[in-house]
Amino acid sequence: MTIKDIAESCGVSISTVSRVLNDHPDVSPKVRQKVLETARAAHYVPNNSARDLVRARSEGIGLIVRGVGNPFFTEVIHAIERAIDAAGYSMALHQIGSDDDEIMAGATLARSKKLKGLIFLGGKGDYQSSDIAILDVPFVCCTYTVRFTPLPRESYSSVAIDDKMEGYRAVRMLLEKGHRKIGVLLNSQHDHSIGELRYMGYCEALSDAGLTVEESLVEETGSFALSDAYEATGRLVKRRPDLTAIFTISDTMGMAAIKALHDLGRAVPEDCSVISIDGMDMTNYILPPLATMAQPQQELGVTAVGTLVDMIEGRAGNRHILLPATPRMGGSVAPC
Protein backbone atom coordinates (compact mmCIF):
# COMPACT_ATOMS: atom_id res chain seq x y z
CA MET A 1 0.00 0.00 0.00
CA THR A 2 1.33 3.42 -0.95
CA ILE A 3 0.63 6.87 0.46
CA LYS A 4 -1.74 7.36 -2.48
CA ASP A 5 -3.73 4.25 -1.51
CA ILE A 6 -3.98 5.45 2.08
CA ALA A 7 -5.14 8.88 0.90
CA GLU A 8 -7.86 7.32 -1.28
CA SER A 9 -8.99 4.94 1.42
CA CYS A 10 -9.32 7.80 3.92
CA GLY A 11 -10.79 10.27 1.49
CA VAL A 12 -8.08 12.87 2.09
CA SER A 13 -5.29 14.35 -0.02
CA ILE A 14 -1.87 12.77 -0.40
CA SER A 15 -0.29 15.78 1.27
CA THR A 16 -2.54 15.30 4.30
CA VAL A 17 -1.37 11.69 4.63
CA SER A 18 2.20 12.87 4.26
CA ARG A 19 1.70 15.49 6.98
CA VAL A 20 0.31 12.88 9.34
CA LEU A 21 3.10 10.38 8.67
CA ASN A 22 5.72 13.08 9.15
CA ASP A 23 4.05 14.20 12.34
CA HIS A 24 3.30 17.77 11.24
CA PRO A 25 0.92 19.65 13.52
CA ASP A 26 -1.62 21.07 11.06
CA VAL A 27 -3.97 18.06 10.82
CA SER A 28 -7.14 17.51 12.84
CA PRO A 29 -6.93 14.79 15.51
CA LYS A 30 -9.76 12.90 13.81
CA VAL A 31 -8.08 12.80 10.39
CA ARG A 32 -4.74 12.00 12.01
CA GLN A 33 -6.21 9.01 13.81
CA LYS A 34 -7.95 7.73 10.70
CA VAL A 35 -4.81 7.95 8.58
CA LEU A 36 -2.67 6.28 11.24
CA GLU A 37 -5.18 3.46 11.69
CA THR A 38 -5.36 2.85 7.96
CA ALA A 39 -1.56 2.91 7.61
CA ARG A 40 -1.22 0.58 10.59
CA ALA A 41 -3.86 -1.85 9.31
CA ALA A 42 -2.11 -1.99 5.95
CA HIS A 43 1.27 -2.60 7.63
CA TYR A 44 2.50 0.55 5.94
CA VAL A 45 6.06 1.44 6.87
CA PRO A 46 7.24 4.88 5.81
CA ASN A 47 10.18 4.49 3.50
CA ASN A 48 12.92 6.78 4.68
CA SER A 49 13.99 7.93 1.25
CA ALA A 50 10.39 8.64 0.36
CA ARG A 51 9.95 10.53 3.56
CA ASP A 52 13.16 12.39 2.94
CA LEU A 53 11.84 13.55 -0.41
CA VAL A 54 8.80 14.98 1.33
CA ARG A 55 10.72 16.94 3.91
CA ALA A 56 12.20 20.18 2.71
CA ARG A 57 15.63 19.55 4.25
CA SER A 58 16.32 16.03 5.29
CA GLU A 59 20.08 16.15 5.59
CA GLY A 60 21.64 14.64 8.61
CA ILE A 61 23.64 16.09 11.47
CA GLY A 62 25.87 13.70 13.40
CA LEU A 63 26.12 13.79 17.18
CA ILE A 64 29.20 12.11 18.65
CA VAL A 65 28.77 11.56 22.38
CA ARG A 66 32.01 10.93 24.24
CA GLY A 67 31.91 9.20 27.58
CA VAL A 68 29.15 6.63 27.51
CA GLY A 69 26.95 6.92 30.53
CA ASN A 70 27.72 10.50 31.49
CA PRO A 71 24.38 11.42 33.03
CA PHE A 72 25.12 15.14 32.64
CA PHE A 73 24.81 14.74 28.86
CA THR A 74 21.28 13.32 28.96
CA GLU A 75 19.57 16.73 29.07
CA VAL A 76 21.94 18.22 26.50
CA ILE A 77 21.30 15.34 24.08
CA HIS A 78 17.59 15.82 24.50
CA ALA A 79 17.88 19.54 23.69
CA ILE A 80 20.10 18.86 20.67
CA GLU A 81 17.69 16.23 19.39
CA ARG A 82 14.71 18.61 19.52
CA ALA A 83 16.66 21.53 18.03
CA ILE A 84 17.90 19.40 15.11
CA ASP A 85 14.38 18.24 14.46
CA ALA A 86 12.99 21.77 14.68
CA ALA A 87 15.59 22.93 12.16
CA GLY A 88 14.38 20.30 9.69
CA TYR A 89 17.38 17.99 9.89
CA SER A 90 17.69 14.40 11.00
CA MET A 91 20.10 13.26 13.71
CA ALA A 92 22.59 10.40 13.65
CA LEU A 93 23.81 9.64 17.16
CA HIS A 94 27.01 7.75 17.86
CA GLN A 95 28.34 7.04 21.34
CA ILE A 96 32.03 6.43 21.96
CA GLY A 97 34.04 5.52 25.05
CA SER A 98 36.00 8.05 27.10
CA ASP A 99 39.26 6.95 25.53
CA ASP A 100 38.06 6.82 21.94
CA ASP A 101 39.03 9.34 19.29
CA GLU A 102 35.99 11.51 18.63
CA ILE A 103 37.46 13.17 15.53
CA MET A 104 38.06 9.85 13.78
CA ALA A 105 34.61 8.62 14.84
CA GLY A 106 33.04 11.82 13.51
CA ALA A 107 34.89 11.67 10.21
CA THR A 108 33.82 8.06 9.70
CA LEU A 109 30.21 8.78 10.57
CA ALA A 110 30.07 11.90 8.39
CA ARG A 111 31.45 10.03 5.41
CA SER A 112 29.37 6.87 5.76
CA LYS A 113 26.11 8.77 6.27
CA LYS A 114 26.91 11.74 4.03
CA LEU A 115 26.24 14.13 6.89
CA LYS A 116 26.11 17.91 6.55
CA GLY A 117 27.73 18.66 9.88
CA LEU A 118 28.82 17.30 13.27
CA ILE A 119 28.38 18.12 16.92
CA PHE A 120 30.90 16.69 19.36
CA LEU A 121 29.44 16.33 22.83
CA GLY A 122 32.46 16.08 25.07
CA GLY A 123 36.01 15.84 23.79
CA LYS A 124 39.62 16.83 24.19
CA GLY A 125 40.90 20.39 24.19
CA ASP A 126 44.19 19.73 22.41
CA TYR A 127 43.39 19.27 18.74
CA GLN A 128 46.07 19.94 16.15
CA SER A 129 45.22 21.33 12.73
CA SER A 130 46.26 17.97 11.31
CA ASP A 131 43.74 16.22 13.59
CA ILE A 132 40.75 18.16 12.35
CA ALA A 133 41.90 18.13 8.72
CA ILE A 134 40.12 14.81 8.23
CA LEU A 135 36.78 16.51 8.87
CA ASP A 136 35.29 17.88 5.70
CA VAL A 137 32.04 19.16 7.19
CA PRO A 138 31.49 22.00 9.67
CA PHE A 139 31.52 20.95 13.32
CA VAL A 140 30.84 22.33 16.77
CA CYS A 141 32.56 21.31 20.01
CA CYS A 142 29.74 21.29 22.54
CA THR A 143 30.49 21.67 26.31
CA TYR A 144 34.23 22.13 25.66
CA THR A 145 36.64 24.11 23.54
CA VAL A 146 40.28 23.91 22.47
CA ARG A 147 42.58 25.59 24.99
CA PHE A 148 45.69 23.40 25.06
CA THR A 149 46.91 23.88 21.50
CA PRO A 150 47.06 26.98 19.31
CA LEU A 151 44.39 25.63 16.96
CA PRO A 152 43.26 28.59 14.82
CA ARG A 153 39.97 29.85 16.19
CA GLU A 154 38.51 30.23 12.70
CA SER A 155 38.96 26.53 11.94
CA TYR A 156 36.29 25.22 14.33
CA SER A 157 33.29 26.28 16.41
CA SER A 158 32.54 25.75 20.07
CA VAL A 159 29.73 26.30 22.56
CA ALA A 160 30.69 25.83 26.19
CA ILE A 161 30.95 27.40 29.60
CA ASP A 162 34.27 28.95 30.59
CA ASP A 163 35.44 25.94 32.57
CA LYS A 164 38.40 27.64 34.20
CA MET A 165 36.34 30.68 35.18
CA GLU A 166 33.50 28.59 36.62
CA GLY A 167 36.00 26.54 38.62
CA TYR A 168 37.40 29.83 39.88
CA ARG A 169 33.93 31.08 40.82
CA ALA A 170 33.04 27.86 42.67
CA VAL A 171 36.21 27.93 44.76
CA ARG A 172 35.79 31.69 45.30
CA MET A 173 32.44 30.96 46.95
CA LEU A 174 34.14 28.61 49.40
CA LEU A 175 36.81 31.22 50.12
CA GLU A 176 34.16 33.86 50.77
CA LYS A 177 32.62 31.56 53.36
CA GLY A 178 35.94 31.56 55.18
CA HIS A 179 37.31 28.22 53.98
CA ARG A 180 41.09 28.05 53.60
CA LYS A 181 41.80 24.31 53.55
CA ILE A 182 39.98 23.36 50.39
CA GLY A 183 40.48 19.97 48.77
CA VAL A 184 39.87 19.31 45.09
CA LEU A 185 38.57 16.11 43.54
CA LEU A 186 39.19 15.72 39.81
CA ASN A 187 39.58 13.01 37.19
CA SER A 188 43.07 14.18 36.22
CA GLN A 189 45.24 17.29 36.42
CA HIS A 190 46.44 16.58 32.91
CA ASP A 191 43.43 15.50 30.87
CA HIS A 192 43.82 18.44 28.47
CA SER A 193 40.11 18.96 28.82
CA ILE A 194 37.54 20.20 31.31
CA GLY A 195 39.16 18.47 34.32
CA GLU A 196 42.41 20.34 33.84
CA LEU A 197 40.68 23.66 33.12
CA ARG A 198 38.47 23.51 36.20
CA TYR A 199 41.54 22.59 38.23
CA MET A 200 43.32 25.67 36.84
CA GLY A 201 40.39 27.73 38.13
CA TYR A 202 40.87 26.16 41.58
CA CYS A 203 44.58 27.02 41.56
CA GLU A 204 44.00 30.58 40.45
CA ALA A 205 41.29 31.22 43.03
CA LEU A 206 43.59 30.00 45.81
CA SER A 207 46.47 32.03 44.46
CA ASP A 208 44.38 35.21 44.21
CA ALA A 209 43.42 34.69 47.84
CA GLY A 210 47.08 34.51 48.80
CA LEU A 211 47.03 30.75 49.37
CA THR A 212 49.38 28.11 48.03
CA VAL A 213 48.14 25.04 46.18
CA GLU A 214 49.09 22.12 48.41
CA GLU A 215 49.62 18.84 46.65
CA SER A 216 48.15 16.92 49.55
CA LEU A 217 44.80 18.67 48.97
CA VAL A 218 44.60 17.48 45.36
CA GLU A 219 43.11 14.05 44.69
CA GLU A 220 42.67 12.40 41.31
CA THR A 221 39.87 9.90 40.78
CA GLY A 222 41.12 8.56 37.46
CA SER A 223 37.58 8.47 36.05
CA PHE A 224 34.11 9.92 36.41
CA ALA A 225 32.73 6.78 38.07
CA LEU A 226 30.95 7.33 41.38
CA SER A 227 32.85 4.49 43.01
CA ASP A 228 36.22 6.04 42.11
CA ALA A 229 35.16 9.44 43.45
CA TYR A 230 33.96 7.77 46.64
CA GLU A 231 37.30 6.04 47.17
CA ALA A 232 39.26 9.17 46.28
CA THR A 233 37.35 11.20 48.87
CA GLY A 234 38.35 8.64 51.47
CA ARG A 235 42.02 8.99 50.54
CA LEU A 236 41.81 12.78 50.57
CA VAL A 237 40.16 13.02 53.97
CA LYS A 238 42.51 10.46 55.46
CA ARG A 239 45.51 12.47 54.27
CA ARG A 240 44.09 15.85 55.18
CA PRO A 241 41.64 15.45 58.07
CA ASP A 242 41.91 19.21 58.58
CA LEU A 243 40.19 20.16 55.32
CA THR A 244 36.90 22.04 55.67
CA ALA A 245 35.67 22.05 52.08
CA ILE A 246 35.98 20.11 48.81
CA PHE A 247 35.59 21.39 45.27
CA THR A 248 34.65 18.55 42.91
CA ILE A 249 34.85 19.12 39.17
CA SER A 250 31.56 17.32 38.43
CA ASP A 251 28.18 16.81 40.06
CA THR A 252 28.56 13.03 40.10
CA MET A 253 31.84 13.41 42.01
CA GLY A 254 30.11 15.84 44.37
CA MET A 255 27.40 13.29 45.06
CA ALA A 256 29.93 10.57 45.81
CA ALA A 257 31.97 12.95 47.99
CA ILE A 258 28.96 13.81 50.16
CA LYS A 259 28.24 10.11 50.65
CA ALA A 260 31.86 9.32 51.46
CA LEU A 261 32.11 12.20 53.95
CA HIS A 262 28.94 10.97 55.63
CA ASP A 263 30.30 7.44 55.89
CA LEU A 264 33.48 8.87 57.43
CA GLY A 265 31.36 10.55 60.09
CA ARG A 266 31.49 14.04 58.60
CA ALA A 267 28.18 15.81 58.02
CA VAL A 268 27.82 18.03 54.94
CA PRO A 269 27.79 21.01 55.23
CA GLU A 270 28.31 21.21 59.03
CA ASP A 271 31.70 19.47 59.07
CA CYS A 272 32.70 19.90 55.46
CA SER A 273 31.32 21.90 52.51
CA VAL A 274 31.08 20.53 48.97
CA ILE A 275 30.64 22.49 45.74
CA SER A 276 30.83 21.27 42.15
CA ILE A 277 30.20 22.21 38.52
CA ASP A 278 27.40 20.86 36.29
CA GLY A 279 23.95 21.44 37.77
CA MET A 280 22.26 18.12 36.98
CA ASP A 281 18.58 18.13 37.90
CA MET A 282 19.09 14.99 39.94
CA THR A 283 21.53 16.58 42.38
CA ASN A 284 18.76 18.96 43.44
CA TYR A 285 17.08 15.92 44.97
CA ILE A 286 19.88 14.60 47.15
CA LEU A 287 20.38 15.47 50.82
CA PRO A 288 21.73 18.05 51.12
CA PRO A 289 21.04 19.37 47.61
CA LEU A 290 24.40 19.90 45.94
CA ALA A 291 25.82 23.41 45.61
CA THR A 292 27.01 23.68 42.02
CA MET A 293 27.72 25.99 39.12
CA ALA A 294 24.83 24.96 36.90
CA GLN A 295 25.61 24.73 33.20
CA PRO A 296 22.79 25.91 30.94
CA GLN A 297 22.15 22.43 29.52
CA GLN A 298 19.26 23.33 27.24
CA GLU A 299 20.97 26.42 25.93
CA LEU A 300 24.25 24.61 25.27
CA GLY A 301 22.43 22.11 23.08
CA VAL A 302 20.21 24.61 21.28
CA THR A 303 23.09 27.03 20.65
CA ALA A 304 25.34 24.27 19.32
CA VAL A 305 22.67 23.26 16.80
CA GLY A 306 21.97 26.89 15.83
CA THR A 307 25.68 27.55 15.29
CA LEU A 308 26.06 24.45 13.13
CA VAL A 309 22.93 25.05 11.07
CA ASP A 310 24.04 28.65 10.39
CA MET A 311 27.27 27.26 8.97
CA ILE A 312 25.60 24.49 6.98
CA GLU A 313 23.20 26.98 5.43
CA GLY A 314 25.92 29.53 4.75
CA ARG A 315 24.69 32.24 7.08
CA ALA A 316 27.80 32.34 9.25
CA GLY A 317 31.31 31.00 9.70
CA ASN A 318 32.96 29.44 12.71
CA ARG A 319 32.09 31.00 16.05
CA HIS A 320 32.98 30.51 19.70
CA ILE A 321 30.26 31.01 22.25
CA LEU A 322 30.83 31.00 25.99
CA LEU A 323 27.68 30.70 28.07
CA PRO A 324 27.66 31.57 31.76
CA ALA A 325 26.91 28.99 34.45
CA THR A 326 24.47 29.91 37.21
CA PRO A 327 25.39 29.39 40.86
CA ARG A 328 22.89 27.01 42.45
CA MET A 329 23.44 27.31 46.16
CA GLY A 330 21.94 23.97 47.18
CA GLY A 331 22.62 23.11 50.78
CA SER A 332 26.10 21.61 50.78
CA VAL A 333 28.06 24.79 51.56
CA ALA A 334 28.24 26.44 54.98
CA PRO A 335 30.53 29.08 56.52
CA CYS A 336 33.80 27.76 57.89
CA angle 272, 275, 276 (to 5 degrees): 145
Other Cβ atoms closer than 10 A to 99: 7
Distance CA 167, CA 205 (A): 8
Residue pair 308/117 in contact (Cβ under 8 Å)? The answer is: yes
CA angle 259, 185, 78 (to 5 degrees): 80
Rank residues 115 and 175 by Cβ distance to its own copies and give the closer one.
115
Q: How long is the chain? A: 336
CB of 321 to its own copies, least distance (A): 24
Rank residues 9 and 95 by Cβ distance to its own copies and give the closer one.
95
CB of 59 to its own copies, least distance (A): 15
Rank residues 201 and 330 by Cβ distance to its own copies and give the closer one.
330
CB of 213 to its own copies, least distance (A): 28
CB of 42 to its own copies, least distance (A): 9
Pairing, β 326-328 against β 291-294: antiparallel
DSSP letter for 212, please.
P
CB of 297 to its own copies, least distance (A): 11
Distance CA 222, CA 203 (A): 19
CB of 288 to its own copies, least distance (A): 9
Residue pair 223/187 in contact (Cβ under 8 Å)? The answer is: yes
Which is nearest to 99 in space by CA: 13, 188, 19, 7?
Answer: 188
Residue pair 289/331 in contact (Cβ under 8 Å)? The answer is: yes
Rank residues 206 and 258 by Cβ distance to its own copies and give the closer one.
258
Rank residues 47 and 149 by Cβ distance to its own copies and give the closer one.
47
Rank residues 208 and 281 by Cβ distance to its own copies and give the closer one.
281
**Close Cβ partners of 144 (under 8 Å, ≥ 6 residues apart):** 122, 123, 124, 125, 158, 160, 163, 193, 194
CB of 78 to its own copies, least distance (A): 5
Per DSSP, the three-state class of 174 is helix
CB of 127 to its own copies, least distance (A): 12
Rank residues 13 and 112 by Cβ distance to its own copies and give the closer one.
112
- Residues forming the site for its own copies (CB under 8 A): 40-41, 43-49, 68-69, 71, 74-75, 77-78, 81, 93-95, 104, 107-108, 111-112, 130-131, 133-134, 226-227, 230, 252, 255-256, 258-259, 262, 281-282, 284-287, 289
Rank residues 44 and 144 by Cβ distance to its own copies and give the closer one.
44
Q: 287, exposed or middle or buried, with CB in 10 Å at 0-12, 13-18, 19+?
A: exposed
